[in-house]
Structure 1
Amino acid sequence: MQMQIMQINEETMGSREIAELCGKEHRHVMRDIENLNDTYVEMSLPKVGQCSYKADNGRTYKEYLLTQDHCIDLITGYSREIRIRINRRWKELEQRVAEPVVQIPQSFAEALQLAADQAKQLELAAPKVAHYDKVVDRHTLLTATQVGQKIGLSAVMLNRVLDEIGVYNKALKRGRAFKQWFIDKGLGEMKQTDMGYSQPLFSLKGEAWVVERLASEGAA
């Protein structure tokens, strides 16, 4: 299974990540951005820039890179929940600028090694039972994008891995849903968004489980 790890530009946010955060299809976000660009042209304002990325199938596709102003203009018409989610993401990106530069894994093997190192640090900090049952706040939920950032994977690539190890229900043709065992163990929950989408969200316990599982896959 070949995977490509892309470095996130800390001054822009990609349209694919916006689609993930908003629970929308990327093509719909692209359409909204193109409509926004038409308005920018009419107002003599800078348009949203674009780049390309190489997908797992080897083909190259277009993607837009939005500044914070672009994001605010784009999502103003979306739901309150989406605006809050995007605003929180921008705070994370701004915080990165002030922090020391962290080396981004350049291969899937390096990402697994990073996951193994993080899992080892968790073991040294406290016993697993204490970490899962005492330290973890089970009510804090994370998107696949947020979980993937901890190990240098995009949401798309992380979801492919989780598909392979049986976390998601492959019987669904559209969208993703956790299998019942994953929910029963408190590793994730299905939440309904304001847009009417059912979105899988990870608990912090689920995030720790993913990190440890990927580490064990890399050691196998």
Structure 2
Amino acid sequence: MKDLSVIKETMSSIEIAELTGKMHKHVLEAIRVMEPSWEKVAGTKFRLGTYKDANQQDRPCYELTKTECLYVATKFNDEARAKLILRWEQLEKEKRNGNFQVPGSFKEALLLAAHQQEEIENQQKQIEANKPKVLFAEAVSTSQRSCLISELAKIISQNGVTIGQNRLFEWMRKNGFLCNKGASYNQPTQKAMELGLFEIKKTTITKSTGDIIVTTTSKVTGKGQIYFVNKFIGKESCHG
């Protein structure tokens, strides 16, 4: 049983991208290219709004009616267009058959309440599942604390991509963030330092013989932690 009030009259460009298997930026591009012709004939612009990404940054998205969706879909291939048409047909069927039904008995009332509670719990679980990445970015952005690469590996794993210290070192060397040979082995490259991803900590140790040893430790800055976590959870292109 569905309440008519929850059946939407529009579809967002994000939903269109997920439904058709396209990247959201490509859907946005198609909409923007086709909007002038639509405005000329229909006399209205497409409804432009925003949504929050994982880092709580505002990003653009559109809300389109069925007619607007099918107009934009003429830019898509046959398969994507078919998926969009079938989805709208499904939504309209739900709307036709989705009138809220008043429970006819105490048993039906209990079943309806249980179903609604399950939907609420599922929504809450999804919200909780999305929290770690957002909280991580907020916490690090307000902190100046740097961490060791071994700690970064644990942070990345906590955000959904399992990786150990050795594999992370190897990935960083392969992708040009750490030097891969010579006296500077496993130290940040010039590129990584210029991006502000690392800082170098030098420690002086005086041995019993009087000899002085200087050790160098590479630490990942707060900015670097956000950068690498975003790399591994797919918010930026992650090579290697």
- State TM-score, norm by structure 1: 0.44
Higher relative contact order (CA 8 A, sep 6+): 1
Structure index of larger Rg: 2
